[in-house]
């Protein structure tokens, strides 16, 4: 099997890449037969066209930050690795925010590939171990891995030391969320923001949250016994009409109790 058809982790290890600063996504793409080009794109964030064992990845460099461009390259490379020789994909911005891990559609799989390539578990886990599930942690990891706040926050929820959820809200309500592996499926975040939460003030009041807060869990968890417990919340605005909120439990026994009521 070609190295490039194997998992990103195996590919990185075979290439001798062991530190985040050495993850040169353009060089990795070239090694796998894909040339990266940067252009102003209209109507999509990135695209890939491939035939036989060669491909061209084109990334929008007009409206995207460098961490976003790197993730776009990883995303398109994910399409290429899974559909080599017959790839032709145009990926919108919304495709790059499709939450990975629990879905099997092509865009989610491509996002999972990009996360495994740019935020590989064997590098990410020791750096995230024991860290609080807050945006201060996310920013530090994002700086080290040169990845976006959103991608890094999803990875922290997926691989961090505490049970957590990451939720994206807009004025219309919940857009998507990612649940960590230790959060029971029965635990869901609300569709509409509680007006007493800090997240509500960040989204509608234009205020920055100064520090993570410990709040009553029933503001964040749709469960009849949530009022018995607390959660920590931390929110940040990512655009004019969207925020990300991290909800996490420092005491995992609270989740175990909720799951048994």
CATH for 23:
1.10.10
Q: Are residues 100 and 154 in the same domain?
A: no
Measured between alpha carbons, how far is residue 27 from residues 24, 42, 70, 224, 246 in Å? 5, 26, 12, 52, 34
Q: Write down which residue in 72, 98, 118 finishes a domain.
A: 118
Q: Are residues 131 and 245 in the same domain?
A: yes
Q: Are residues 134 and 249 in the same domain?
A: yes
User: What Rg do the C-alpha atoms of the chain give, in angstroms?
Assistant: 19
Percentage with pLDDT > 90 across the chain: 62
Q: Are residues 127 and 59 in the same domain?
A: no
What integer pLDDT is reported at residue 90 of this predicted model? 47
Q: Are residues 126 and 245 in the same domain?
A: yes
Instruction: Quick: pLDDT tens for 132-179.
Output: 999 999 999 999 999 999 999 999 999 999 999 999 999 999 999 999
Instruction: Quick: pLDDT tens for 25-81.
Output: 999 999 999 999 998 887 777 888 887 788 899 998 887 899 999 999 999 999 888
Domain that holds residue 109: 3-118
Q: Are residues 15 and 88 in the same domain?
A: yes
CA distance 168 to 236: 10
Instruction: Quick: pLDDT tens for 5-24.
Output: 778 999 999 999 999 999 99
**Count of domains observed in the chain:** 2
Answer for the pair 235, 209: CB distance below 8 angstroms, yes or no: yes
What integer pLDDT is reported at residue 92 of this predicted model? 47
Q: What mean pLDDT is predicted for residues 231-252?
A: 94
Instruction: Quick: pLDDT tens for 115-135.
Output: 999 999 999 999 999 999 999
Q: Are residues 203 and 227 in the same domain?
A: yes
Answer for the pair 57, 44: CB distance below 8 angstroms, yes or no: no
Q: Are residues 169 and 255 in the same domain?
A: yes
Task: Provide CB contacts within 8 A for 49, sequence distance 6+.
Answer: 55, 56, 87, 88
CA distance 164 to 200: 19
Q: Are residues 99 and 178 in the same domain?
A: no
Q: Are residues 129 and 252 in the same domain?
A: yes
What integer pLDDT is reported at residue 206 of this predicted model? 86
Q: Are residues 150 and 195 in the same domain?
A: yes
């Amino acid at each position: 099997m070609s190295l490039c058809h194997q998992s990103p982790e195996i590919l990185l290890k075979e290439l001798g890449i062991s530190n985040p600063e050495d993850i040169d996504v353009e060089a990795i793409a070239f090694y796998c037969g894909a040339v990266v080009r940067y252009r102003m794109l209209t109507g999509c964030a990135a695209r890939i066209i491939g035939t036989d064992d060669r491909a061209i990845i084109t990334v929008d460099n007009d409206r995207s930050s460098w961490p976003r461009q790197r993730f776009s390259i990883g995303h398109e490379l994910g399409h290429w690795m899974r559909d080599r020789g017959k790839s032709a994909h145009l990926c919108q911005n919304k495709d790059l925010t499709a939450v990975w891990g629990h879905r099997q559609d092509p865009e989610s799989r491509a996002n999972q590939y990009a996360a495994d390539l740019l935020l590989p578990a064997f590098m990410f886990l020791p750096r995230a171990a024991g860290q609080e599930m807050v945006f201060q942690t996310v920013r530090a990891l994002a700086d080290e891995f040169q990845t976006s706040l959103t991608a890094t926050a999803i990875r922290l929820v997926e691989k961090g030391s505490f049970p957590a959820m990451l939720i994206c809200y807009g004025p219309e309500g919940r857009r998507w969320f990612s649940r960590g592996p230790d959060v029971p499926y029965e635990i869901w975040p609300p569709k509409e923001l509680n007006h007493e939460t800090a997240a509500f003030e960040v989204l509608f009041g234009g205020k920055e949250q100064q520090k993570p807060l410990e709040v009553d869990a029933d503001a964040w968890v749709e469960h009849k016994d949530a009022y018995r417990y607390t959660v920590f919340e931390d929110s940040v605005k990512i655009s004019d009409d969207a925020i990300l909120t991290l909800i996490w439990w420092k005491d995992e026994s609270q989740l175990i109790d909720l799951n048994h009521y």
